[in-house]
Amino acid sequence: MNLVGVGIGLIVIGLGLGIGNIGKSALDAMARQPEMASKIQSAMLIAAGMVEGAGLFAIIMAFLTK
Amino acid sequence: MDLLSPEPGLVIWTGLTFLILLYLLGKFAWRPLLSAIKEREDSIKNAIESANKANEELKQLEATRARIQAETRQERDAVLREAQSLKNSIVEEARAAAKQEAEKIVVEARAQIEKEKADAMLEMRQQVAKLSVQIAGKILVENLASDDKQNELVEKYLNESNFN
Amino acid sequence: MVSKLKQIALVILMLLGLSCATHLRAENAEMLKAEEPEQLDMTELIFHHVLDSYQWDIVGWETESGEQKLSIPLPVIAYYDGHFICKLSSSFAEGKRIEEDGLVWYMGVPEGRVVEKLLLDTPSEKGIRPTLDISVTRNVASMWFSVIVILLIFVSAARAYRKSLVPHGAVGAVEAVVLFVKDIADEQIGEKSAKYVPYMLSLFFFIWINNIIGLIPVFPFSTNLSGNIAFTATLAIGTFILTNVNASKHYWVHNFTVPGVPFVMKFILVPIEIVTMFIRPFTLLVRLFANVTGGHIIILSLISMIFIIGSLLMSLPSILLTLIIFVLEIIFGALQAYIFTLLSALYIGLAVNEEH
């Protein structure tokens, strides 16, 4: 159970870094090209969704294999 | 874990409910809503289009009006010019005719004068001849009495037949 | 300037409250050591809220004779081996057992589970689950309630257009959101979107309204339908079916042959593509489930902190924190509905379009 907790923690670190990076790049891009903001936003959400999907998958696996 | 195991009962109910919701919303909400929005979009598009068309027509009308105006002005100018030239020609003609008439009158007058003059001369000649003959006759009648008398006589007749 | 001061004051207040709380907690922890069950109760409370149940509790209170509850009984419908049962959940109250044709039906907590489920004893086996349990549970009832709400909102909005094509008041807001969702579908799917727009709209509002219903903490709201894995799974299956039924030839060719890579790579990429096909709806369902359930658990835990620590002082930071999370959850409720719809549209768009 403890190891599962560590695993979930690691997953969340990775997830946070990944989504944080996506958000940072998206904000940079939006600041540089405000007229493209809506397109960048949907692309950002899609990318974040993919990363989050992988992360959630890992969390579920962590729960299931305890 | 309870959390992670989907209940088949709930899956069935959700599926059924969602299908029914999809049907009901599709029929009673989305179709009228989207068609209303589409209709509005179309009507706005039509309105803009017809406004553009009206504008275009107005422009065309304006152009036509300007063209007609220009044409009218041209025509008027042409008419005026024609009238002017007509007037000029009429005046010119009249002047020419008057001149001709005047010349004719002058010529006629001159001819009349010439004729009168010729007549007068003719008459005078005849008169002179008659007088001369008369004088000659008288001279012949009274002559020979004396030279003085002859001279007196000639003088007398000459005075009588003053050329005036 | 004033708002900044307010913010700082708020943060200081929260920190004070937190430090108070941790202090109190350290003190109380020793006193409460003997009363371990109190904390277990909270887990039960949270699970009771987050998971499904056979009746719809409106309010509960303590009396001298024990816990009292005001709840709406819901129909229990189940099938096992040629036998149907259809009773109100109140007939199973207080451990009552119903015997029919040699089968004994009752409510109990099966092994490895947290909440009560409908169980039955047969002459040969004890405590098994029925083959099919299609009881109208709290979540199902809440779902029907949400359907009524959705129909009321959108059918009346659609009717408003009969009078005039220009929306007034709330209808304008409804139209704005509808057009927002329609634009998602149009952008991701392209020219073939008209067929999928009704699905996308229904999906978005079904999820969103249920998220909101889950967040309002009084009857008839406060259920955790959109945080139930069965619910999210069904919607994800819907998207999966739509994606694959309408997929173009190009999609299948791409998935099973992966053109444009060396032959050896195909042995790796084709399985990846095929797994991706199934991973996509799976992440859809897990994302929605995890976000909504996570939000509910956080809010309930923060509220529970008051009772765990057992101090009135704790209520201030606890309620402030809950408020912040609550606002966040309201945003997330819309965001998750948006992401679910956006990704559904994206997947369908990838599948139905010839080139991408």
Residues C334 and C197 in one domain: yes
pLDDT tens track for C75-103:
989 888 888 888 888 888 877 888 887 78
| Structural domain boundaries in chain B | 9-160
**Which residues of chain C does A52 touch, with a Cβ-Cβ cutoff of 8 Å?**
283, 287
3-state secondary structure of C149: helix
pLDDT tens across C275-334, in order?
888 888 988 888 898 888 888 888 888 888 887 777 788 788 888 988 998 898 898 899
Residue after which a domain boundary falls, among C133, C167, C184: C133
- C119 with C231, same domain: the answer is no
Q: Which range of residues forms the domain containing residue A59?
A: 8-64
User: Residue C273 sits in which domain range?
Assistant: 138-352
Closest approach of B74 to chain C, Cα-based (Å): 53
pLDDT computed for residue C178 by the predictor: 92
**Which tokens sit at C352?**
């139905």
H/E run at residue C137: none
Residues, chain A, total? 66
**C127 lies in the same domain as C147:** no
DSSP code at position C51 = S
Q: Are residues C128 and C162 in the same domain?
A: no
Q: What whole-number distance in Å separates Cα of residue C96 and Cα of residue C106?
A: 7
Top pLDDT among B61 and C16 is at: B61
C250 in Cβ contact with A25 (< 8 Å): no
Q: Which of B17, B24, B33 sits opposite C143 (nearest CB)?
A: B17
> Is residue C321 a part of any domain in this protein?
yes
Nearest to residue C84, comparing CAs of C22, C132, C126, C122? Answer: C132
Contacts with C339 from chain A: Cβ below 8 Å:
45, 49
Q: Report pLDDT for C29.
A: 46
Q: Are residues C109 and C181 in the same domain?
A: no
**What is the per-residue DSSP string for C188-240?**
HHGGGGGGTHHHHHHHHHHHHHHHHHHHS-STT----STT-HHHHHHHHHHHH
Residue A23 lies in a domain: yes
C137 contact residues in B (CB cutoff 8 A):
7, 9-10
Structure tokens at B11: 């899956």
Confidence of residue C70 (pLDDT cuts 50, 70, 90): confident
Residue with the bigger pLDDT between B94 and C5: it is B94
The nearest CA of chain B is from the CA of C236 a distance in Å of 11
Tokens of C141: 């009832």
pTM: 0.74
- Name the residue in chain B with its Cα closest to that of C196: B26
